[in-house]
Amino acid sequence: MPPPTATLSVASSSSSLSLFPFSSYSCSKQPQLRFCPSPTPTRLTHFTPLTTPNYPIGKLMTPSAVSIEKETMISERPHTFLRETDGKDDGSIRARFQRMIMEVQDSVCGALEALDGTGKFKEDSWTRPGGGGGISRVLQDGAVFEKAGVNISVVYGVMPPEAYRAAKAAATDLKPGPVPFFAAGISSVLHPKNPFAPTLHFNYRYFETDASKDAPGAPRQWWFGGGTDLTPAYIFEEDVKHFHSIQKRACDKFDSSFYPRFKKWCDDYFYIKHRGERRGLGGIFFDDLNDYDQEMLLSFATECANSVIPAYIPIVKKRKDTPFNESHKAWQQLRRGRYVEFNLVLNPVIIKLDRFDILDFSKSDR
């Protein structure tokens, strides 16, 4: 396969080739991608940047800075991973967010199994002695999906004051002593077999510090984060428009500024600087979101998570049986290498809360 060029080229079994200028599915500071009104997909090759993104990535919490207990495997999934002191299902944000991610895990896994036809998710459940736990589900070598993981984590831990300061950039809030925290989230990466069907990543999470105002540590804080993004090896205009329309519809139900704001955030973040290219074709991304009503943001995160199925399943259903050859598969593998490269090179500092995947509650989420 020839090396990437500074173009987007049509890639099909007929070996026809044409070039396209750039348009709107990128951030404003990068060369942008324009799609032709054609059923033939374009192949994502290489972007040459005009400037580097100017979005501040922020501060990081290092793994060594945070204390999280080792997990213990269990034979059956519990009804809740919340501590007794949190109540089992008391209507709190913690309880409702946990219920939401469990329901989304069930619905997404059900939709993927129905589409695959033969593949089934294998489930592992785990807990930690001090409270919390998670459910990891993996479907591998199915008829449609090469590998799909949909995982939830509910985690309690302790961070030192300096880690809290790094996470929140709020030295004036800081009091001496460790800072207990609660974190819950759902994280998923879906890899279809067919090179013409795109990879999807989504992650929605809630973070809360546990210390009360009068206790040693930091004052209680909370925030939401997450996003859904699409990474195709071959680009179909109608698929990208469909995917982004679902993201916009979910955002517009709450605030008309959300979609352009979170789309740009996604475009700027998923950018491989040393290659001058993006990981994929974006979606939405947000982090440290607490400047709106908490109930509204819970509803917003729920709406976004529930939008995964209508945004993604119709695309895979349409592309899963498209004929492909070894060249197409090789290109898919190269693009997957870029996906891994982004996580290893640009997002190496994480808090590992889950055995299969990561839920990053730092200021530099995936």
320-353 pLDDT, tens per residue? 999 999 999 999 999 888 878 887 776 544 433 3
pLDDT at 237 > cutoff 50: yes
Catalytically active residues, by annotation: 201
Position 203 scores a pLDDT of 96
Q: How far apart are CA 51 and CA 31, in angstroms?
A: 9
What does 121-140 look like in DSSP terms, one character per residue?
A: -EEEEEE-TTSEEEEEEEEE
215 band by pLDDT with thresholds 50, 70 and 90? low
364 band by pLDDT with thresholds 50, 70 and 90? very low
Q: Say what the alpha-carbon torsion angle 298, 242, 356, 280 is, to the nearest 10 degrees.
A: -110
Q: Taking residues 311-320, what's their average pLDDT? A: 98
Give the mean pLDDT of the chain: 77
* Residue 128, amino acid: R
Task: Map 62-90 to HEC letters.
Answer: CHHHCECCCCEEECCCCCCCCCHHHCCCC
Angle, helix 294-306 to helix 93-116, in steps of 10 degrees: 10
Q: Taking residues 118-146, what's their average pLDDT? A: 95
Q: Could you say which of 3.40.1010.10, 3.90.230.10, 3.40.1500.10, 1.10.579.10 is the CATH number of the domain covering 72-169+176-353?
A: 3.40.1500.10
Structure tokens at 189: 């990466």
24 band by pLDDT with thresholds 50, 70 and 90? very low
Q: What's the Cα-to-Cα distance from 90 to each of 80, 134, 185, rounded to whole Å? A: 12, 20, 19
Longest alpha-carbon distance in the chain: 70
pTM of the model: 0.77
Higher pLDDT, 280 or 188: 188
Name the percent of the chain lying above pLDDT 90: 52
Position 146 scores a pLDDT of 97
Position 206 scores a pLDDT of 96
Q: How far apart are CA 329 and CA 197, in angstroms?
A: 11
* Residue 324, amino acid: F
pLDDT at 163 > cutoff 70: no
Q: How far apart are CA 353 and CA 155, in angstroms?
A: 7
Position 134 scores a pLDDT of 96
* Residue ranges per structural domain of the chain: 72-169+176-353
Higher pLDDT, 218 or 158: 158
Position 29 scores a pLDDT of 38
Q: How far apart are CA 49 and CA 28, in angstroms?
A: 11
Position 214 scores a pLDDT of 59
234-235 sheet: strands from edge to edge: 9-10, 42-43, 234-235
pLDDT at 60 > cutoff 90: no
56 band by pLDDT with thresholds 50, 70 and 90? very low
176 band by pLDDT with thresholds 50, 70 and 90? low
179 band by pLDDT with thresholds 50, 70 and 90? confident
Dihedrals phi, psi of 158, to nearest 5 degrees = -135, 135
Position 89 scores a pLDDT of 63
pLDDT at 38 > cutoff 60: no
21 band by pLDDT with thresholds 50, 70 and 90? very low
pLDDT at 151 > cutoff 90: yes
* Residue 333, amino acid: Q
Position 77 scores a pLDDT of 87
Q: What does the pLDDT look like over 103-119, one tens digit per residue? A: 999 999 999 999 999 99
Position 257 scores a pLDDT of 97
Q: What does the pLDDT look like over 181-200, one tens digit per residue? A: 899 999 999 999 999 999 99
Angle, helix 308-319 to helix 294-306, in steps of 10 degrees: 10
Q: What does the pLDDT look like over 285-298, one tens digit per residue? A: 999 999 999 999 99
